[in-house]
Copies of this chain bind each other. A is one copy, B any other.
């Protein structure tokens, strides 16, 4: 099971995540769950007043009016934050990330990387120069059975990969929620704040990241048919994508926010010439494995057949379900291990895995390519 809790939690700050935000609360729980971080500082909202109110509600020691003030002040303190969580809408990722990175403060940033490819490149350049880590919360890679699946593919248990089928299906934008007061819907359907991708950026990037993470493959080209089903919407709410991977594997990716009856239906299936793997986020404690010609097997988190790569991401015995927050926490815990190694002047320990800037850039390229392809009537675009 999980490693012993460390003696001293890392000092964490947060940009965004004021009251009313959804993902900020998730990051706070994820940071806290394993005792790896203690949240002490924040610039939580777009206005100083709101930021202050939110900071007080959270009992933070130090609340700032804006992220720049926070980056400057914290960098000067001996007991300043060691890492910052950036949980703003997409267009507000690059700015703060660059400011903290250049001051040596590690960044844990929500996905997708940025709103635009231009910002993404600027951020990448800043990160390359910085003496600090950049961690992107493609949180689904923190699920134990996803680690299990990746390890099984890498070990050749399904043979050479031929097919990667992935989907992330929701229904919450079936109607124009952005016009009836949902803040979440507002910014996620707004190109200014979200970027060029709608469902593509918001959930398609997760699906794409997961497909590559588990299969161990790089996609070479895609053909995308994006749709806007809800009248008046500016960004895609459904994406149908064909994928071609290096080495000849092929895949399909479906991302939708308009499929009634689906909540967070992220589902991955990978097939090779010797076996197949199937996993669903809504039922994450199981991985279904079929060696070709044998009965299907249900491998459980921490149960029989689970590998160390899954076990180290798990806290409790099998049959006691862990979920979304635990998977998210695993990314925070992996980040903590990497940060502690960095602080000690050591390499990231073997087996520690977290999504990086490279993953973020790949996600941005995925969105960009989807949009390009769709404009060209679903013609192939090289990745």
Contacts and interface: CB of A to CB of B under 8 A. Distances in A.
Interface of A: 4-8, 19, 22, 25-26, 28-29, 32-35, 56-59, 158, 162-163, 165, 170-171, 174-175, 223, 225, 227, 229, 238, 240, 242, 244, 248, 250-252, 254, 256, 258-265, 269, 271-276, 278, 281-285, 288-300, 303-305, 315-326, 377-380
A297 B294 CA distance: 9
A237 to B, nearest CB: 9
Given A26-B316, A254-B165, A321-B284, A261 B296 contact: yes
Contacts of A32: 32-33, 35
A33 B29 contact: yes
A290 B261 contact: yes
B316 A305 contact: no
Contact of A380 (B26, B271, B278, B378): B378
Given A242-B378, A378-B223, A325 B316 contact: yes
Contact of A250 (B227, B299, B316, B377): B227
11 contacts: A4-B19, A171-B271, A175-B273, A258-B271, A260-B271, A261-B289, A263-B300, A281-B319, A320-B323, A321-B323, A325-B325
Contacts of A175: 273, 292
Given A158-B260, A171-B292, 10 more contacts: A22-B317, A29-B34, A32-B35, A261-B271, A263-B318, A283-B283, A296-B297, A321-B323, A322-B323, A325-B326
Q: How many identical subunits does the complex contain?
A: 4
Nearest to A25: B315
Contacts of A265: 319
A254 B256 contact: no
Contacts of A380: 377-378
Given A32-B33, A321-B324, A380-B377, A260 B242 contact: no
Contacts of A315: 25-26, 29, 325
Nearest to A59: B7
A225 B238 contact: no
A259 B276 contact: yes
Nearest to A60: B7
Given A22-B317, A303-B263, A273 B229 contact: yes
Given A252-B252, A275-B260, A304-B295, A57 B5 contact: yes
A220 to B, nearest CB: 13
A379 B378 CA distance: 8
A6 B59 CA distance: 8
Contacts of A58: 5
B300 A298 contact: no
Contacts of A281: 319-321
